[in-house]
Structure 1
Amino acid sequence: MSETTEVTAFMLVKTTPEWLGLTVEQRVKAFTTEILPAIENKVKGVRSRFFDTEFYSARVTDVWVWEARDHHSYQLLIEVLRETPFWDRYFEIVDLLVGVENAYATNYGLNAYASIDA
C-alpha cells in the first residue's frame, strides 16, 4: 500500500429547521461565505460531491461525498466543519461512513474487480 491512502467519506445529513428557514439566496450565501472559505483556507486535497435524498428518505436529506487524498486531510476537514455553522446548526450529522476504495484487494495483493459500464 502507498504511504497515502485515498479516503472516501459518505456523510449522511439531515437539514435543520434553521437551514430550511433560510431563502435559497441566504443558503447560497451562508455556504459560500461561512463554510467553503473555512474549508479552502485550512484543508488541501479534499473534494466534495452532493446528492439530494430528501425525495426518498425522511431520515437523511442529503449525502455529501468527501474524497480526501489521505486520512489526515479528511480529519482536518471534519475539524474545520465542526467549527462552522454547517455542523449541527444547519445540518444534523446522521452518520459518517468512511472507507478506502478496494482496500481488501490492496491488503491481499489482489486485483480489484468492479462492474464495467456496458
Structure 2
Amino acid sequence: MQETAPADAQEAAPPVTAFMLVKTTPEWLAMTPEERVRAFSTEVVPAVEARTTGVRSRFYDTEFYSTRVTDVWVWEADDHHAYQLLVDALRETPFWDRYFTVVDLLVGTENGYARTYGTEAVATLTT
C-alpha cells in the first residue's frame, strides 16, 4: 500500500535545494580576489537573474579540508523548473567547466520523507 502526503503538503511544492560540489581551476586561481568578485558580479549574477527567478545562493569554502571539492555552492530554488533554468544559465557562463569543474550535484528537498509519510520532521535543536 502506497502512502501519500496530506493534501495540504501536496498543494505547496517544497523548495529544491542543490548542493553543487565544485573544484577551482587554474584559470580561476590565477585571478586576483578582486578579479574573481568582478567576474562573479558581471558574468554569473546577470546570467542567473536574466534566466530565472526564485533562486537564492550561499557559498562555502571547503579547500581547507578537501582536495577533490574546493567549494560547495548551495542553491535553493522555488521549484524544479527554477532550478533547471538556473543550471541552464550557469552553463552559459565561464563558471561552468572553465573557472570551476562541477564535481557533483546533490539535489533534494528538505524533509521530503516527512511529506511522503505524513509525519513530523525529525530534527535536532541545540541552544
Task: Point out the structure with max Rg over C-alpha.
Answer: 2
In the aligned structure 2, how far is the partner of 1:2 from the partner of 1:110?
A: 16
How far apart are 1:62 and its partner, in Å?
A: 0.2
Match for residue 105 of structure 2 among 70, 93, 96? 96
How far apart are 1:6 and its partner, in Å?
A: 0.7
Report the RMSD for the aligned CA atoms in angstroms: 0.9
**In structure 1, what residue type is equivalent to 2:104?**
D
In the aligned structure 2, how far is the partner of 1:79 from the partner of 1:100?
A: 20
The list of structure 1 runs, each at least 4 consecutive aligned residues, that deviate by more than 6 angstroms after superposition, is none
CA contact (8 A) 2:20 2:73 kept: yes
Once the two structures are superposed, residues 18-63 of structure 1 have per-residue CA deviations (whole angstroms, 9 ceiling, x without a partner) of: 1001111111111100111101111100100000000000000000
Provide the residue aligned with 2:16 in structure 1: 7
Q: Any unmatched runs of 5+ in structure 2?
A: 1-9
Structure 2 matches for 1:99-110, cutoff 5 A? 99-110=108-119
What's the secondary structure of 1:57's corresponding residue? coil
In the aligned structure 1, how far is the partner of 2:13 from the partner of 2:82?
A: 10
Provide the residue aligned with 1:42 in structure 2: 51
How far apart are 1:3 and its partner, in Å?
A: 4.5
In the aligned structure 2, how far is the partner of 1:24 from the partner of 1:31?
A: 11
Q: Any unmatched runs of 5+ in structure 1?
A: none
What's the secondary structure of 2:81's corresponding residue? helix
In the aligned structure 1, how far is the partner of 2:98 from the partner of 2:11?
A: 37
Q: Structure 1 length normalisation: TM-score?
A: 0.96
Provide the residue aligned with 1:33 in structure 2: 42
How far apart are 1:2 and its partner, in Å?
A: 2.6
Provide the residue aligned with 1:114 in structure 2: 123
Q: Is 1:57 the equivalent of 2:85?
A: no
How far apart are 1:86 and its partner, in Å?
A: 0.6
Q: Is 1:87 the equivalent of 2:96?
A: yes
CA contact (8 A) 1:14 1:60 kept: yes
How far apart are 1:5 and its partner, in Å?
A: 2.5
What's the secondary structure of 1:34's corresponding residue? helix
